Structures are given as C-alpha cells and as structure tokens.
Structure 1
Amino acid sequence: MKNNKLVTVMAIMLVAILLVGTIAVVAVLKLTGEDKKEEPTIDEVLEASVDIPEVTTNLASNDFIKISFKIETDSKEAKEELEKRDFQVRNIIIYELSEKKSEELQGVEGKKGLEETLKTKINSLMQDGKIKKVYITGSILQ
C-alpha cells in the first residue's frame, strides 16, 4: 500500500514538472518569435515612401543649396498623410536649411544630422503614422 502511494505521488510530480516545462518552452518561443520582425522588402519601403522634389534655398552662410529627399514612413496611411502635408514638410526643410551654414552640411555627419533633425520635426506633425527614415537623394551646395 505504501509503495502504491509513493508511485502515485511520483507520477503526479513528474506530470506536473513536464506540464510546467512545456508551458515555459511555449512561452519562451512565443515571446522570442514576436521580437523577430522581418525587415520590409524594397517594394514595401517604396510603397510607404514619399519623394520631396528639389528645394533650393539660401543658407545662413549666404551660400545656397539644392537638395531633394525621399522620406520613408511606417505605413501607407502615413504616406498619404505625408503627401497631404507636402507644403508643411517643404516649409520645415527651408527653415532648417536657412539656419545652417555650409560647413555644417558638408560631410557624412552633417548630412546625417540634417536627416535626423528633419525626421524629428516632421514626426511632430504626423498623426496617422511615423517617419522611419529621411534620405537625401540629391544635394548641390554652392
């Protein structure tokens, strides 16, 4: 009788351990699976991007710049909103460039700084999505 109880308790404990282990494995796989977001394809990036045509403006250093951009959004809805806000985006670009000196825009760091500044300022306008990245697609500084 005593052996029978011992075997029953051991079987129950073994089943409980297996059940807890299975739940832990499933939870870990589910949580790590959600973190692995796939990068969008180039077609998806293009579908959610807006071209900003060439802007020509004076800089603070009395030089001038011709520059164009492609702005990547996080969704088609954000793209549609950004297309409607084209005039506001161009206004932000002109204001930002008018405060820059030509030395500030030369080199990789200067261009990256401008891209990040524009991203932040344009994101403050957005209601239906976010700007993921701002790309400079053309630039002539004189």
Structure 2
Amino acid sequence: MKNNKLLMIMLILLVAITLVGAVALVVVLKVNGESEHKEPSIEEVLEASVDVPEITTNLQGNDFIKISFKIETDSKKAKEELEKRDFQVKNIIIQELSERESEELQGKDGKIGLEETLKEKINSLMLEGKVKKVYITQSLLQ
C-alpha cells in the first residue's frame, strides 16, 4: 500500500513538473517570437509601394508646386487597392496642396506635416490594408 501511494505521488509530481515546463516553454517561445519582429527588407518595401507621378498644382496664393510621392503600404493587397484608387489619391493630394501656402511647405516640418496628413486621408479610403508611410520623392516650389 505504501509503495502504491508513493508511486502515485511521484507520478502526480512528474506530471505537474512536465506541465509547468511545457507552459514555460510555450511562454518563452511566444515572447521570443514577438520580440524578433524585424523590419521588412527594401525589396519587401518596394513590392508594397506605389509611385505617384509628378503633380503640378496651384497652392493657396499665386505659387505653384511640382511634387511626386512614393506611398508605402502594409501589404501587396493594399498596394493593388491603392493603384486602383490612384485618381482618389491624386484628388486628395491636390486638395491638400491647394489649402497650403508656399511658406508652409518650405521647411522640413511642413513637408512632414503634409506626409502625415496625406497618410491619414488616404488611410480613410483604404479597405484592404493601410498606408504605412508617405514619402515626398521630388518637390519644386515656385
């Protein structure tokens, strides 16, 4: 009888230790998997990016701007959707630029502000994914 009880206690302890070890292993692997989230390679970025060709439009006042963009999306599906929505994207860009004065676009902060505004407005259109970043690739302010 004593051997049976001792054997049962050892078996229960062995199962408990195994379960604790398995849970600890799953937790460690899950935490390491999340922390190893790496940035996409340049090839992946280019595969999910859309070029907006040069747009020439009037600014508020008598000035005008020639500007082009590269828009980075989060997936190939988002890129495909964005390519189909090119007329809507151009419309948003022209509307945003027509509300700005040349002084607002001359400095770094003004350009970053334009990029962020365009990102937010374009994201409001998107159904398949989202815009991660808008880059100004060319700008001529006159």
Report SS of the residue matched to 1:135: strand
Structure 2 counterpart of 1:51, one-letter code:
D
Compare 30-39 and 72-81 and name the one that shifted more: 30-39
Hey, what does 1:12 align to over in structure 2? 12
Structure 1 counterpart of 2:56, one-letter code:
T
Report SS of the residue matched to 2:38: coil
- The 2-side partners of 1:104 and 1:77 are apart by 34
- The 2-side partners of 1:61 and 1:135 are apart by 25
Hey, what does 1:30 align to over in structure 2? 30
Distance 1:80 1:3, change over 3 A: closer
**Cα distance, 1:132 vs structure 2:** 1.1
Aligned residue-pair number: 142
Is residue 2:48 matched to residue 1:48? yes
**Cα distance, 1:17 vs structure 2:** 2.9
- The 2-side partners of 1:90 and 1:35 are apart by 38
Compare 89-98 and 101-110 and name the one that shifted more: 101-110
Is residue 2:64 matched to residue 1:99? no
**Cα distance, 1:108 vs structure 2:** 1.6
- The 2-side partners of 1:2 and 1:79 are apart by 71
Q: Percent identity?
A: 75
Q: Structure 2 length normalisation: TM-score?
A: 0.86
Hey, what does 1:90 align to over in structure 2? 90
- The 1-side partners of 2:56 and 2:27 are apart by 55
Hey, what does 1:74 align to over in structure 2? 74
Hey, what does 1:62 align to over in structure 2? 62
**Cα distance, 1:26 vs structure 2:** 1.7
Compare 51-60 and 2-11 and name the one that shifted more: 2-11
- The 1-side partners of 2:21 and 2:128 are apart by 42
Report SS of the residue matched to 2:124: helix
Gaps of 5+ in 1: none
Gaps of 5+ in 2: none
Hey, what does 1:138 align to over in structure 2? 138
- The 2-side partners of 1:115 and 1:4 are apart by 74
